[in-house]
Structure 1
Amino acid sequence: MAHILIVDDEKNYRIVLGQLLESVGHHVTRADNPYAALDILSGEQIDLIISDLKMPRMSGIDFLRHVNDEIGPVPFIMLTAYATVQTALQAMKIGAFDYLLKPFDNEEMLLTVDKALDYSKLQNENWLLRRELEQNRDRTLVGNSPAMESLRNQIAQVAPAKTSILITGESGTGKELVAQALHRLSPRSNKALVSINCAAFAENLLESELFGHERGAFTGALERKKGLMEVSDGGTLFLDEIGEFPLNLQPKLLRVLQEKTFRRVGGTAEISSDIRIIAATHRNLEQMITEGTFREDLYYRLNVVSLHLPPLRHRREDIPLLSQLFLERLSRDMGCPLPQLSSQAQHDLYHYEWPGNVRELQNILERGLLFCDGPTLEQNHLPQQFHSQAPHHNGCSETAAMPLQQPLPEHLETIEQKLIQAALIDARGVQAKAAELLGISRSNLQYKLKKYHLV
């Protein structure tokens, strides 16, 4: 229930209105003038103000202005006589939620109070959401694991710089999301982020797409075309799958990185472009250098800063949070009810190896929603590869009957790993809760997670 402040110089209205609001469970504070009300507001949290319009020394309008200026936005209902309705409408223009005529109808009063409180709650929720989005603008990189927290910190540190960045990680880990976060947190965020997948174009088409071409440069070049290097001037160019960049074109890209200039295909004019290049790959570029398929000088120009996205199997504690997020998004997009994951489905998702990483998790949950016909997404809604996994037992008892097939120290480590994984499942990925279940400190748990490469 809400804490409501009644401000009225007429004692009877303060008593009657206060009793009405208290009868439905609200906590009521009364003031006989706006000055006393301002003293109350300075020391107490008030959810709603109901104030008379005409009062001696300070009117309800002036009181509302004082509240807005000194206290901040508080839901405000004005009480007025018929002759002063125009003034009450003026009060609504400067922030009052509504006005009611004296003498008021009890049901109308309670309904208006409920609406004002609901509106205030919605405004507060929207404000909190906006603040959270502003404070965590790169939270599209979902996860509370140490690896993801470290990655977000690195992104915040390097985003404002002009240097090139190389993002590494397996397919499906979310490298493009990192590029988006880097651009969004950079001084270039008001300009374009232009993305291109280098593996999606043949060599001649990729050259034209990136650098543009002059009219008549090749068959079918009927007019001059600006390339992405020009289009992204002042912004960021994201080169996805840079490991697929043709060897013959690599000197041209190197020149852009070194000189910030290039020529269109078939052109002679030097074109300057102020761009920041972010590249990403799932391939081992150092091995490609050894094999002669990637230039060493280009690698070092791209790799001024390197950011690595860990595979999902190395940050399993993020799986419950990611699963919930995907289920909410997918159920909304598909127009179906949001199901709960059964404990067996949670267990199976947690222990799966995820060769396709976060992208595979999303695809599997989308498939599960298509087959789910009730309030719970069960194991049988998941693909066949999940059905052969060991059944989930309550707590940590699944380790009890393990055969001794290795020396005791290694066997104990295996058991410890399984106990930690089971605790994380029961704690839905919350490390503090998992540590509590295991009877160890959180720092000790984090040490063991790193020791066993579970993060």
Structure 2
Amino acid sequence: MRLKTMANPLVLIVDDEPDIRELLEITLGRMKIDTEAASSLEQAYQHLTNQAFDLCLTDMNLPDGNGIDLVKHIQQHYSKIPVAMITAYGNMDTAITALKAGAFDFVSKPVDLQRLRDLVSSALKLNKSNHAAEVKITSETQLLGDSKAIKQLRKQVIKLARSQAPVYISGESGSGKELVARLIHEEGARADAPFIPVNCGAIPSELMESEFFGHKKGSFTGAVNDKPGLFQAANGGTLFLDEVADLPISMQVKLLRAIQEKSIRPVGTENEIKVDIRILSATHKELNQLVNEGNFRQDLFYRINVIELKVPPLRERPEDIPLLAQHFLNKIANSCDLTPPHLSREALATLKNYAFPGNVRELENTLERAFTLCEEDIIQRDDLKLSDTETSNPLALQATTPPPGGVSSLEDYLEDLERKAIVQALEDTRWNKTAAAKKLGITFRALRYRLKKLDLE
């Protein structure tokens, strides 16, 4: 037994097997970590009353109860202490139950010492960053809003950042699911490691295995070099699987195995590579329904949906719209060195009464459009064009032929048209911006904004 020194962290080890306790004490001692040991729940509760711990490692089966009881007790009375569960080999049900109860992470017997050291190091980082996380995530630049729904979401993000449990983020398109995933990563123990977002629906099915797991040179036509996959790129950090519902069944099987085994096999190799990542996933679709229809594997759903976090749609928090609107207007104005306009009372009322099926993303796009149309630094109701089903870009109306290269290049194609039209108008007016704006049928503000956006200044 080691008593806590001024410099070293203190870890509570709870296990009724003396050999396991000794192994953990020796391993942590070599990491310059002090320990206290307990062989039962009763002893653990006594230690928690008498000492301030930085981490708790507990076995599942104890003489007077189980580790889940201890996890719940610590969550209720000592919520700042992360708890890691020691489980029997291959018992994923126990591990998932522990994570749902609030455990930080788990390690299986026989204990892999390197895995244990990584887990302990990650857990001890939490207490150093926790206060900063609470301050940052409630600041004016993160998860904006004062509504009850957004305040609750901020609390849940802070709590989930203290865990390594897989989180399934559900919500409508444009509601901010990737922002939430990024915040969970940035406020957690993996903040210094990569956050790798991947849109599962944007990867061709024939390239998915290579993209996720990497490949060896010559493993297939076009594989001219060894290439690491997304799992390796996210090693030590977080892999965010956006639109996970779009994964084909064949890839779901391989993804499940990689998550369970914490290892991958690049295409064209026989050797497995260990990876240490946290999985966050999201989709706007109903995964439960897809499982019932047989279009999404139930076992994979069970693994990625250890904890579900729901992001509220914008229509359920209209009181947040004024704050969000001002934030976006400031952001747009700053990008082109202009003074942000103000919303008229009628315009603000229109925004608050609009359902926003595209959520926060649609609000930002609406304000960007209104920014370019408004006069005298005031956005009027008509500038919002919320009932206008036609394109918001007057220059885009010139597009009468499909873009070469298909739909994927539509944005670049329209930008090219816009750039050419602006340059032509400036040349026709001898580079008089006021006259060019009039010729194009847009405001001077709109022209300045587009010059900045298209890098034409």
TM-score bracket relative to the smaller structure: 0.5 to 0.7
Q: Does 1:369 align with 2:389?
A: no
Does the 8 A contact of 2:133 with 2:187 survive in 1?
no
For 1:136, what is the secondary structure of its paired residue?
Answer: helix
Q: Which residue of the partner structure matches residue 451 of structure 2? A: none
Q: Which residue of the partner structure matches residue 258 of structure 1? A: 260
Q: Which residue of the partner structure matches residue 149 of structure 1? A: 151
Task: Say if 1:186 and 1:365 are closer, same or farther in 2 by CA, change over 3 A.
Answer: same
Task: Say if 1:174 and 1:323 are closer, same or farther in 2 by CA, change over 3 A.
Answer: same
Displacement over 3 Å in runs of 4+: 131-134
Q: Which amino acid aligns with 2:307?
A: V
Among 168, 171, 183, which residue is 2:170 paired with?
Answer: 168
For 1:385, what is the secondary structure of its paired residue?
Answer: coil
Q: Does 1:229 align with 2:231?
A: yes
Among 382, 385, 389, which residue is 2:384 paired with?
Answer: 382
Does the 8 A contact of 2:137 with 2:154 survive in 1?
no
Among 281, 285, 288, which residue is 1:286 paired with?
Answer: 288
Does the 8 A contact of 1:192 with 1:232 survive in 2?
yes
Kindly name which structure, 1 or 2, has the bigger radius of gyration based on alpha carbons. Answer: 1
- Shift in Å, 1:210: 1.0
- Shift in Å, 1:375: 2.1
Instruction: Please provide the CA RMSD for this pair.
Output: 1.7
- Shift in Å, 1:386: 7.1
Please give the residue correspondences for 1:404-419 in structure 2 after superposition, counting only pairs within 5 Å: none
Q: Which residue of the partner structure matches residue 347 of structure 1? A: 349
Task: Say if 1:182 and 1:205 are closer, same or farther in 2 by CA, change over 3 A.
Answer: same
Please give the residue correspondences for 1:12-161 in structure 2 after superposition, counting only pairs within 5 Å: 135-137=135-137, 139=139, 140-161=142-163
Q: Which residue of the partner structure matches residue 276 of structure 1? A: 278
Please give the residue correspondences for 1:189-208 in structure 2 after superposition, counting only pairs within 5 Å: 189-208=191-210
Mapped to 2, the partners of 1:233 and 1:270 lie a distance apart of 14
Q: Which amino acid aligns with 1:364?
A: T
Does the 8 A contact of 2:239 with 2:280 survive in 1?
yes
Q: Which residue of the partner structure matches residue 310 of structure 1? A: 312
Q: Which amino acid aligns with 2:382?
A: N
Mapped to 2, the partners of 1:290 and 1:134 lie a distance apart of 39
Per-residue CA deviations over 1:192-251 (Å, capped at 9, x if unaligned) read: 111111111111222211110111121101121100101111111111110111111111
Q: Which residue of the partner structure matches residue 240 of structure 1? A: 242
Structure 2 residue runs without a partner (length 5+) = 1-130, 390-457
Mapped to 1, the partners of 2:208 and 2:315 lie a distance apart of 34
Mapped to 2, the partners of 1:269 and 1:138 lie a distance apart of 45
- Shift in Å, 1:373: 2.2
Per-residue CA deviations over 1:301-338 (Å, capped at 9, x if unaligned) read: 00011110011001111111100110111111132221
Mapped to 1, the partners of 2:280 and 2:132 lie a distance apart of 27
Mapped to 1, the partners of 2:248 and 2:202 lie a distance apart of 12
- Shift in Å, 1:159: 0.8
For 1:319, what is the secondary structure of its paired residue?
Answer: helix
Does the 8 A contact of 2:249 with 2:296 survive in 1?
yes
Does the 8 A contact of 1:138 with 1:181 survive in 2?
no
For 1:223, what is the secondary structure of its paired residue?
Answer: coil
Per-residue CA deviations over 1:377-424 (Å, capped at 9, x if unaligned) read: 10121115079xxxxxxxxxxxxxxxxxxxxxxxxxxxxxxxxxxxxx
Q: Which amino acid aligns with 1:152?
A: R
- Shift in Å, 1:257: 1.6
| TM-score normalised over the length of structure 1 | 0.55
Task: Say if 1:384 and 1:170 are closer, same or farther in 2 by CA, change over 3 A.
Answer: closer
Q: How many residues align?
A: 257
Structure 1 residue runs without a partner (length 5+) = 1-130, 388-455
Mapped to 2, the partners of 1:182 and 1:226 lie a distance apart of 25
Does the 8 A contact of 1:348 with 1:386 survive in 2?
no
Q: Which residue of the partner structure matches residue 436 of structure 1? A: none
Q: Indicate the percent of aligned positions where both proteins have the same amino acid.
A: 45
Q: Which amino acid aligns with 2:333?
A: S
Q: Which residue of the partner structure matches residue 360 of structure 1? A: 362
Does the 8 A contact of 2:133 with 2:158 survive in 1?
no
